[in-house]
Structure 1
Amino acid sequence: MRKLVGWTVLVAGVGGLGYVATTNHAVSMEDVITERAGGISGAAELPVDVQVSGRDVTASGLAVDQAALDQLRDEYSEIEGVRVVNVDAVELLPVADPFEIQISKTDDGAMTAEGVVPSYTAQAQLGDVAADLPLAAGAPDGWAQLAASGRAALGPLNSGQMTLSGTDLSLSGVANSPAEFAAANAALGSVPDGYTSDVQIDVLDDGTPLRLNLIVAASAVTGSAKLPTELDGDAGFAGFDAMQSPLASADADWPDAARTVVQATGSLIDGEVSLEETSLMVRGQASPEGKAAAEAALAGLPATYSQDVDIELWDDGEPLQVSVAWDGSTATADGKLPADFTLSGPTDVAVDPTGATSFRPDADGAFTANANAGVAALGSLNEGTLVATADAITLTGTATSPKVNAALDAALENAAPDTQITREFTYLDDGSPAAWVLDYDAATGATIEGRLPTTLEVSDLSDALGVPNLEGTTGVALEDDTAGPAVEMLTVTSEYLPEIETLKLSRDGDGTELDVVMAPGIDVDLVAADLAERLPSDVALTISATENLPQQGAYRVNNATGLGEVYLNGYWIPDLNFETSVAGCTEQTALQMADGGINFLSGSARLDAASARVINALAAIAVPCVEADLELEVAGHTDAQGDADQNQILSQDRAATVRSALIARGVPERAITSIGFGETQPIADNETPEGRAENRRTEIEWFERGALRNP
């Protein structure tokens, strides 16, 4: 009993000592266990609350599954000093099958989620959208990370839905552009092994920049564009092949900038225009007004826009060229002329050219020089055409003669250097002096052949010679304007034309020749002396008597008088038709003497050359009148100048000369008497020259046979 009690006392004493020791040790151990248990709880997949009392551990909270709960219990139990572990208050998550989450994103960017998550960590990874989702067990390995990636993939999309059901993931939605599409795919990444994915994302925009690509040809604008929603339906872009983006422009200035670019492009004639985002390129051509308008419009673009603009004055690419047609008095022109170029016609004739005018000036002046030189040369032609370019001049047409080449050379000296010059002319004349021959024959008339100077007409020669018709073929020496003395010569010579048998007037570059053959019975010496005195001294004059005498009784019509003539006794006697009575013979005599009568050399009884014409006519009257038994008296008269006796003798000698001339022409000698009255029978005042001229006269008077006065 004592042993038992002692043992009990011993035990009790020892126990009391142990209690005191144990109580102090327990406090320190509890702190250690609490710290270690809290670390285990913090590392748990789900939140676990742990309470430590002495060496006892009590846990409450959630565990994913029984394995996780068992692991938690084991980890608590392994803490040194732990006596009791109680995890009865830790609840297991419900098992979700399928383990699924669905996250949706609307056009306004809001996200909503349905389903379960495996942990608060997963919930945090998914963000606010999963804050209210319940936890569940049954998630496959890697599920939470893939769900977070799917949630991230929705971020770049306008709208969409991600569903992760077990190991199957589907992602659908709408992306603005390929960039967002790529970002969504990048966020999703690759799915873990054992998972499947189905991604269906519609891309609203091709991702290329907003742009305008315009072509201008002959002022017509075509092109393509990618336009933001702000320009949807804008009439200014209606004619373009436009891609309409569903997106608004990221640059608020772009729609107005695009409108400005289209406006500026409309001022071009040809060109290319590109606007891509804020980068502008313009290459084109325009009129001066269009260039100014386009540049003014583009100056209004925002400063943030880069501009590479080069607008030249428009040109169609064809070379400058002018064609001028000239008819000798008027000119027409066509072609393509440079800006600020005024075309004047040949010899300053006004010309209004048709065709195109370039907006560009003649840069090096070559075209201007050639056009002006060519027009000046064209004026030297009678008619023709000029084609002038910057490197060539072509002249075709009709020129007076090769002499025109000197004027052409002078004009074309002003052409631009190295200009190719072509001349194709038809010459109207060879440039040689006038050369012509006029032939006259009393029996056959007058003809003319050759080339006359420009200042001489055939009619001038015909009028001067006194023949109505001057037959022949003549041309014009277009480079010779010297008529020479021809008209004057023929005018003087024509006074003797009824007495001329043949006449030949020749003129060429060497001078003038006149060859005259007088009719039979004409005083050649007197004619030669008269013509030599009156004709120009530089005329080569030859006068001779005819050597080819016709047969007695030959008949012809004298082209100078228009009268028929009969060759009798060495003279051409006119064939007159009149009444052979005293009255008829008197009348016919007066008619033939009316144009000048019978004249003599001064102070002489020698007939002048022109009197032969009257003498021949008197013979033509006298022969038939005498045959009709009539007789005539030739009476000579002088003026009162000089000695009366000498005048008496002179008058008698002159009357005798006429009588002899008539006898020589076949008038019977018996039927003619001659008498001189000197100055005794004046018919006018001898105190005046005119009166004295009238008093110097020869009179013919007719009588019946036997009634003739006795001289």
Structure 2
Amino acid sequence: MSKALGALVLVAGIAGLGYWGAQSHAVSMQARIATAAQQAVTGTVHPMAVRVSGRDITLTGLADTRTELDRVIAGLDAIRGRRVVNAGDVEVLPDIAPYETALAKGADGSLAATGYAPSAVARAGLAAAVPGAEALPLGHGAPEGWGAALAAGGAALGPLDAGSFALTGGTLTLSGTAATPAEDAAARGALGDLAGFDAVIAIDVTDPGQIGFTLSYEAETGYKLAGIVPQAFGMEGIASALGRDAIAGEVATTFADLPGLAGRLDGMGRFAALLESYTLTATNDGVAIAGAALPGLDADIVFGQIAEAFGTIEGLTISAGAMPPEGAERMNAATGLRQVAHGGTWITIPGFEPTRARCTEAAMARVAAQPIRFMTGSAALDPYSLATVNDVAGIVMLCTRDPGMRVVIGGHTDAEGDDTANYSLSVARARAVRDALIARGVAPERMTAMGYGETEPIADNDTEEGRARNRRTTFDWPG
């Protein structure tokens, strides 16, 4: 009995050892197969998962190409001890040719992506900068440098108001709208020279920075402006620089600047009273002025006055103005005053009610602003004074139309030289002014020329400045 029991125990032990050995061997084999299977999927473009059950291998995930999948399956098939390799759930990415990924920037600054991404990792990187890019489908065939190209494309769209960037095979295409050449250059610079790609760039520049406008002036009709002006001025700024509340015309603006423009406009606003017309043409290269002097004014002298105020101006030309018909009337747009044509020139008639005090004040204010000068040592009028004489003629014409209104024109000298000679010179100069006013239509019987020599100084004759002030012409309407 004991022998039989011992034999049974021995058999059971041997069977248990066999079962344990079989189980232990199976576990060890499964682990070995799993390790080998994991090595077979190492280095794939996309994550692939392997699951080992017993000696069966199941493969899932994405394969970049059929070739890659076949390589992995072949590696799994070669594992010693494996039984079945199941790869039916593996998705092979479609082969895209030509491969395209595109970015678009809207007017509101938002970015959108279309096309394909080469991997989930690359797609996530793009989505960090372009919301919505995580929805791009994956596809095989992306050119080398896909990520760098898309990053450069996004940077190139940054300076543009709106635009699109496309990576199509080995070609980069950038198009859109830039506000100025600076943004255009920034976009091109961001795209740079990416190795291995051809670039096609088409950017429209809204404001190319080109100044080009014409300011025209006619004494009778005023100013008109057309073209592209610096935005620092605009229409209102041009008018303000000319000393006007408003001017006619329509303009566009540019970011570009034109140094010295404000001074040119200010000067032409001031000198308009000497001109019958002019055209100021401005470009990025500078300003050119072509004008015609008021009839009766010497064109060379007007040119000299403008050139002296501006300095050297290339392209400044002043011609003689056409003579108006005798007796014609108009409103001068520069001064807003009525003018009457007489003796081949325009005489400005001031717009105030004449009284003795008001007439004296107006005439003396005009000669204070720009004195009547004479050639040195003589009674010949300096041609630079003709504009002043024309304006004074209008004042005197208005202020002598009533029978009781008479003007005394006084000539004054400094104290240099002989007293008698100074007196004679002062009389001759007063008469020269009277003759000039007669030539401009003032009734001679309403004017008296008086010489005072050096007897009525208004400043110190010991200084040149004082002597210059004492050499003067006065106008007085005595009561």
Picking from 558, 562, 584, the partner of 2:332 is: 558
* Distance in 1, Cα, partners of 2:83 & 2:111: 46
SS in 2 for 1:627: coil
Residue identity opposite 1:618 in structure 2: V
Aligned to 2:303: 528
- Aligned-residue sequence identity (percent) comes to 32
SS in 2 for 1:497: helix
Picking from 617, 620, 632, the partner of 2:394 is: 620
Render the CA deviation track for 1:177-205: whole Å, top value 9, x for unaligned: xxxxxxxxxxxxxxxxxxxxxxxxxxxxx
Picking from 388, 395, 408, the partner of 2:174 is: 395
The answer to whether structure 1 residue 374 and structure 2 residue 148 are counterparts is: no
More helix by share: 2
Aligned to 1:661: 436
Aligned ranges 1:103-118 → 2 under 5 Å: none
TM-score (norm 2): 0.67
Residues 343, 280 of structure 1: CA spacing in aligned structure 2 closer, same or farther, 3 A cutoff?
Answer: closer
Residues 617, 508 of structure 1: CA spacing in aligned structure 2 closer, same or farther, 3 A cutoff?
Answer: closer
Residues 391, 573 of structure 1: CA spacing in aligned structure 2 closer, same or farther, 3 A cutoff?
Answer: same
Aligned to 1:463: 240
* Distance in 2, Cα, partners of 1:370 & 1:604: 84
SS in 1 for 2:334: coil
* Distance in 1, Cα, partners of 2:432 & 2:150: 80
Picking from 247, 250, 255, the partner of 1:473 is: 250
SS in 1 for 2:110: strand
Aligned ranges 1:32-47 → 2 under 5 Å: none
The answer to whether structure 1 residue 544 and structure 2 residue 319 are counterparts is: yes
Aligned ranges 1:127-276 → 2 under 5 Å: 275-276=52-53
Picking from 190, 194, 197, the partner of 1:415 is: 194
Q: CA deviation at 1:558?
A: 0.7
* Distance in 1, Cα, partners of 2:153 & 2:382: 65
Aligned to 1:702: 477
Q: CA deviation at 1:700?
A: 0.8
* Distance in 1, Cα, partners of 2:165 & 2:277: 52
Aligned ranges 1:496-535 → 2 under 5 Å: 496-508=271-283, 512-535=287-310
Q: CA deviation at 1:411?
A: 5.2
Q: CA deviation at 1:517?
A: 0.8
Aligned to 2:163: 384
Render the CA deviation track for 1:612-655: whole Å, top value 9, x for unaligned: 44433433332343332222111123444666666545544432
Picking from 673, 695, 704, the partner of 2:448 is: 673
Render the CA deviation track for 1:486-535: whole Å, top value 9, x for unaligned: 44333333332112111112245776432211112223332222233444
Aligned to 1:439: 216
Picking from 54, 61, 67, the partner of 1:284 is: 61
Residue identity opposite 1:659 in structure 2: R
Residues 583, 532 of structure 1: CA spacing in aligned structure 2 closer, same or farther, 3 A cutoff?
Answer: closer
Residue identity opposite 1:414 in structure 2: D
Render the CA deviation track for 1:246-276: whole Å, top value 9, x for unaligned: xxxx97999xx9xxx9xxxxxxx99776554
Picking from 100, 105, 109, the partner of 1:325 is: 105
- Structure 2 residues without counterparts, runs of 5 or longer: 1-21, 35-45, 64-80
Q: CA deviation at 1:680?
A: 2.8
Render the CA deviation track for 1:217-260: whole Å, top value 9, x for unaligned: xxxxxxxxxxxxxxxxxxxxxxxxxxxxxxxxx97999xx9xxx
How many residue pairs get aligned? The number is 410
Which structure carries more relative contact order (alpha carbon 8 Å, separation 6+)?
Answer: 2
CA contact (8 A) 1:461 1:486 kept: no
SS in 2 for 1:530: helix
| Structure with larger Rg | 1
Aligned to 2:19: none
**Aligned CA-pair RMSD:** 4.8
* Distance in 2, Cα, partners of 1:383 & 1:653: 77
The answer to whether structure 1 residue 448 and structure 2 residue 225 are counterparts is: yes
Residues 407, 275 of structure 1: CA spacing in aligned structure 2 closer, same or farther, 3 A cutoff?
Answer: closer
TM-score (norm 1): 0.48
* Distance in 1, Cα, partners of 2:240 & 2:444: 41
* Distance in 2, Cα, partners of 1:542 & 1:643: 44
Residues 545, 251 of structure 1: CA spacing in aligned structure 2 closer, same or farther, 3 A cutoff?
Answer: same
